[in-house]
Chains A and B, each alone.
Chain A
Amino acid sequence: MAQPMSKATRHVSINEGLLFEQSAPGKRGMELPPLDVPPVDAGAALGPEFARRAVEHFPEVSEIEVIRHFTRLSTWNYAIDLGMYPLGSCTMKYNPRVNEFVARLEGLATEHPLQPIELSQGCLRILRALEGVLEEVTGMDAVTLQPCAGAQGEYAGIAIIRAYLADRGNPRKKVLVPDSAHGTNPATAATAGYEVVNIRSDANGRIDLAHLAEYATEDVAALMVTNPNTVGIFEQDIARAAEILHGRGALLYMDGANMNALAGITRPGDFGVDVMHMNLHKTFSTPHGGGGPGAGPVAVKKHFEPFLPFPVLVEKDGALAWDSHRPKSIGRLRAFCGNFGVLVRALAYALAYGPGMVEATRDAVLNANYIRKKLEDVYDLPYRQPSMHEVVFSDARQKKNGVNTVDIAKRLIDYGFHPYTTAFPLIVPGALMIEPTESESRRELDLFVEAMRSIAVEAAETPELVKTAPHSTRVGRLDEVGAARKPVLRWTPPQ
């Protein structure tokens, strides 16, 4: 029999329409101090060719309405502050509040990136400190903090590899990507001008070395690897893979999305990685905020330093400065120096832990293995190698009753949890990819295990209940087909 739910019950939530539906002429939510210089007529100042009267149909609502609007909307969201996100490869850990406080400090939030360098030393010291932390954690020699997200970091990393190889006479044509890789990996390689060649994982979910040796021809620039890989398993042969690649003049790129399993325990620079990126919104706790902002610093070995994006932070006459004279650089990735506010938060996180960061890594791996142990008798475990910070099950058993991973994930919502990652990695059909992170207490883990075990029972005894889940949310499963066939991407005023 399925267990009654311990974590969640239904509660009343308040309906709320669109901002534009509450708009009425003359209402406003923010007032400005009065103009203390002579007013100027916009039409006269700009001329008829350029002047605009007002933005048509822009909303007009009061402050209280705005507060209620967004507060109500917020109550429709799940969040880390409410409970665990078991999302594999996302590392949904606690977002410390002191990070929010320091990012907002006067003197940090207020600074202009082009202000005199003598008046920016505080900002630059923060950047230098974070670079140092990331160099140490990754075991690499140099870091750029410029990329805005993991995908942009990946792009930079592959571009650096390309520039390095081109500098040696031949950028080469192909990049090898495991079939288990996150979708940004092949998308990135293609954007950087490489042909993507998929290589297969072996029966243990790891890179097939023989396959790699065969595929690592002279026109291969690099292998993009994630370690631990996307089934949560440490690539034990990674140093050997690096040797094979280096022997052919190719390079090893590491997607650092899974650094939460490694920080303080082992370092990519020590096992053969040439270039890698990290996701600060994963390992370094910066908030996801519904989809970003993030930051994707890139760490490289010494010989790749000339190719880093400009500007590069350097020390000059006892102060910090930007160096834009970098003739071999891959170029600038974005205006200004990076997502500074995100970088502040990441440094605050690192300072809170110090060398104790390794405890977080240990707890993350402990939690994932605990979940594995408590669920491996009810869910199919396709790869039996030891798990690191995440575990991947499949829906093979439940499929026999017509219940698939998406159904189970949706039913998990009724139990008060956000779904785990479904249908990824591609090498596991019907995958359930679960990463608890170190932020989960035993109590929350046990509630999760209880929920998953209960759903397994439901899948066997009352599959329809699972297949039509969720049942307790404000809206049921939404018509994604209709949304894609006839996209409605904005509110339009009634005719």
Chain B
Amino acid sequence: MRYLPKSDAEREALLAELGLASMDELFASIPEPFRLKRPLHVPGPLSEKEIIDYFRARAAENAAGYTSFLGAGVYNHLRSVAADALLQRGEFLTSYTPYQAEISQGTLQAIFEFQTLMCQLTGQEVANASMYDGSTATAEAALMAVRISGRKRLVVSRALHPEYRQVLTTYAAHMDLPIAEAPFDARSGQTDLDALRGTLDQATAAVILQSPNFLGVLEAVPRAGEITRGSGALLVTAVAEALSLGAVRAPAEADIVAMETQSLGLPPSFGGPFAGVIATREKYVRNMPGRLAGQTTDAQGRRGFVLTLATREQHIRREKATSNICTNEALCALAVTMHLALLGKEGLREMAAQNLAKARYALGELEKLSGVRRAFSGPFFNEMAVEFPVSVRMINQHLLREKIIGPLPLGPYYPEQTKRGLLCVTETHSRGEIDRLVAATARALAALGRESREAMPAEAKR
């Protein structure tokens, strides 16, 4: 087998040195009743070519060749092949967690740079080396606020990504943390801050808002921060579309930022692996979960980097740790660091500006269609809830026939948001593709209009 660097002769020789007659004798300490007496029933073995053929065949059963306008927490953005070439270097790909600092300075310096970039983007004072993803970072940020405040109640905006909300519920359940909900304003799509104020009490540890929120609308973070802190709680701001920070003001007034960095250099990859990050004020650093790289010197005064403040972590605190997290998303965070290094200050600004332009162009063209309009009035980056005169699901059926994946219907997540869908337009969509979306939508509406005139009105409730 090509991954095993031994010949049978070499195995024999090693066994002889051990005084054993066969490989089976190596397992003598396993009681006989437990030993598997048959080969594993698993597919393979396959040669390299057959493996590639297998996965190519699976790839062909997916959405290659379709143009997607989905966002909702996972975003299509341009990436440079230079970053991927660097990422595949064996010294990065196949290296271990940098516990042995002297031979991991490459990884550690890159983490230090990542931490710095995250602070610059979020306007916070310190950031960690990565969490699993945005959803778990949000949940961990909430738990962090509970630890810091000593209080036990959470208030969550209804406009938080529904899957993030489900994750938060899972994590909160075992710690007996009640979660109350603050509504969003039906006109603006922003969290209703007056209603929010009404839900706060002395038991509230944190308020959790997302910006841009699930509906694509930017939240008024400074005012939310004031209201939250006014009742002694902490403001956690989740960011799912990190590229927005290239055009949108940083959430510096949040006490803790929980961000998904997928938009900044990671492929969608059917949902993972991504890289979350927690960024916060320096005074909270000892309550923060996840690894941290710190700058220091050796005995000769040479600058170097080490994992630090490890006493927060599982391998030392064990049951008193800030989190049980051990493995994180280091290689993904490294990909983000490389991507941001290539994009740079100007590239980030330009990419974000292209998103603003493309989304507004698409909206403008779509609103020329009768009955189509943006559902909310609040400011947005590249994602919008669009209202249609008929069911989004039915429109999408038509769009699929033209190899377009249309807006994500909102109805399944928010029952009152019928006939509305989330549309995300990025720099990856050419004008031609956007025009095609609009034309296909027009055709879909026309066909559905005809159908509903001809048949009994039997619209799906979307």
| Chain A–chain B contact at Cβ < 8 A | yes
In addition to A18-B116, A123-B62, A293-B275, 10 A-B residue pairs with Cβ atoms within 8 Å of each other are A46-B356, A67-B85, A70-B86, A331-B166, A354-B40, A355-B40, A356-B44, A484-B308, A487-B294, A489-B308
Q: Which residues of A contact B34 (CB under 8 A)?
A: 239, 266-267, 270-271
Let me know if A350 and B298 touch, CB within 8 A: no
Pairs of residues from A and B, 8 with the lowest C-beta to C-beta distance, nearest first: A354-B44, A289-B331, A107-B59, A336-B271, A81-B90, A331-B170, A291-B330, A122-B61
Let me know if A184 and B268 touch, CB within 8 A: no
Closest A residue, CB atoms, query B2: A352
Let me know if A475 and B48 touch, CB within 8 A: no
Stretch at the interface among B24-32, B195-203, B228-236: B24-32
Number of A-B contacts (CB under 8 A): 684
Let me know if B338 and A70 touch, CB within 8 A: yes
Assess whether B408 is interfacial by the CB under 8 Å rule. yes
CA distance A47 to B66 in the complex (A): 35
Chain A's nearest CB lies how many Å from the CB of B115? 5
Assess whether A137 is interfacial by the CB under 8 Å rule. yes
List B residues 406-437 near A (Cβ within 8 Å): 408, 427, 430-431, 434
Let me know if B106 and A293 touch, CB within 8 A: no
Given that A81-B91, A292-B130, A475-B298 are known contacts, is A30 also in contact with B344, CB under 8 Å in the complex?
A: yes
List A residues 90-143 near B (Cβ within 8 Å): 90, 92-96, 98, 100-116, 119-123, 125-126, 129, 132-133, 136-137
Given that A116-B405, A336-B74, A438-B4 are known contacts, is A77 also in contact with B106, CB under 8 Å in the complex?
A: yes
Assess whether B377 is interfacial by the CB under 8 Å rule. no
Sorting the interface of chain B by its residue count into under 10, 10 to 19, 20 to 34 or 35 or more gives 35 or more
Let me know if A489 and B292 touch, CB within 8 A: yes
Stretch at the interface among B49-57, B368-376, B438-446, B454-462: B49-57
Let me know if A148 and B132 touch, CB within 8 A: yes
Given that A107-B59, A488-B294 are known contacts, is A335 also in contact with B95, CB under 8 Å in the complex?
A: no
Closest A residue, CB atoms, query B107: A290
Assess whether B402 is interfacial by the CB under 8 Å rule. no
Q: Which residues of A contact B68 (CB under 8 A)?
A: 112, 115
Assess whether B70 is interfacial by the CB under 8 Å rule. yes
Let me know if B42 and A29 touch, CB within 8 A: no
Assess whether A187 is interfacial by the CB under 8 Å rule. yes
Given that A187-B318, A483-B308, A490-B126 are known contacts, is A109 also in contact with B344, CB under 8 Å in the complex?
A: no
CA distance A232 to B345 in the complex (A): 50
| B83-111 to A contact mask, C-beta < 8 Å, 1/0 | 01110111111111110111111110111
Let me know if A77 and B103 touch, CB within 8 A: yes
Stretch at the interface among B150-158, B178-186, B319-327: B319-327
**Which of B31, B98, B434 has the most C-beta atoms of chain A within 10 angstroms of its own C-beta?**
B31
Assess whether B452 is interfacial by the CB under 8 Å rule. no
Q: Which residues of B contact A442 (CB under 8 A)?
A: 5-6, 10, 13-14
| B223-254 to A contact mask, C-beta < 8 Å, 1/0 | 00000000000000000000001111110000
Stretch at the interface among A154-162, A243-251, A391-399, A458-466: A154-162
CA distance A42 to B80 in the complex (A): 24
Let me know if A108 and B58 touch, CB within 8 A: yes
Q: Which residues of A contact B295 (CB under 8 A)?
A: 483, 488-489
Q: Which residues of A contact B2 (CB under 8 A)?
A: 352
CA distance A9 to B161 in the complex (A): 53
CA distance A271 to B60 in the complex (A): 41
Closest B residue, CB atoms, query A109: B267
Given that A51-B249, A183-B318 are known contacts, is A73 also in contact with B106, CB under 8 Å in the complex?
A: yes
Given that A96-B3, A335-B164, A337-B271 are known contacts, is A122 also in contact with B330, CB under 8 Å in the complex?
A: no
Let me know if A19 and B341 touch, CB within 8 A: yes
Stretch at the interface among A56-64, A212-220, A297-305: A56-64
| A321-359 to B contact mask, C-beta < 8 Å, 1/0 | 000000000111111111111101000101111111111
Closest B residue, CB atoms, query A480: B306
Let me know if B90 and A80 touch, CB within 8 A: yes
Name 11 interchain pairs, CB-CB below 8 A, sorted by A. Answer: A32-B354, A70-B110, A105-B56, A109-B269, A122-B57, A149-B326, A149-B327, A187-B314, A440-B5, A442-B10, A442-B14
Assess whether B400 is interfacial by the CB under 8 Å rule. yes
Closest A residue, CB atoms, query B53: A102
Q: Which residues of A contact B430 (CB under 8 A)?
A: 36
Q: Which residues of A contact B74 (CB under 8 A)?
A: 112-114, 336
Assess whether A28 is interfacial by the CB under 8 Å rule. yes
Closest B residue, CB atoms, query A491: B116
Given that A70-B338, A112-B74 are known contacts, is A136 also in contact with B347, CB under 8 Å in the complex?
A: no
Let me know if A77 and B357 touch, CB within 8 A: no
With beta carbons under 8 angstroms apart, the residue of B40, B247, B309 that contacts A357 is B40
| A182-195 to B contact mask, C-beta < 8 Å, 1/0 | 11101111111100
Given that A352-B44, A474-B105 are known contacts, is A32 also in contact with B92, CB under 8 Å in the complex?
A: no
Let me know if A388 and B353 touch, CB within 8 A: no
Q: Which residues of B contact A53 (CB under 8 A)?
A: 349
With beta carbons under 8 angstroms apart, the residue of A119, A281, A338, A424 that contacts B327 is A281
Closest A residue, CB atoms, query B35: A266
Q: Which residues of B contact A18 (CB under 8 A)?
A: 109, 112-113, 116
Chain B's nearest CB lies how many Å from the CB of A269? 10
With beta carbons under 8 angstroms apart, the residue of B17, B103, B170, B329 that contacts A333 is B170
List B residues 294-312 near A (Cβ within 8 Å): 294-300, 302, 304-306, 308-311
Assess whether B352 is interfacial by the CB under 8 Å rule. yes
CA distance A419 to B291 in the complex (A): 20
Chain A's nearest CB lies how many Å from the CB of B70? 5
| B327-347 to A contact mask, C-beta < 8 Å, 1/0 | 111111010001011111111
Let me know if B36 and A418 touch, CB within 8 A: no
Assess whether B21 is interfacial by the CB under 8 Å rule. no
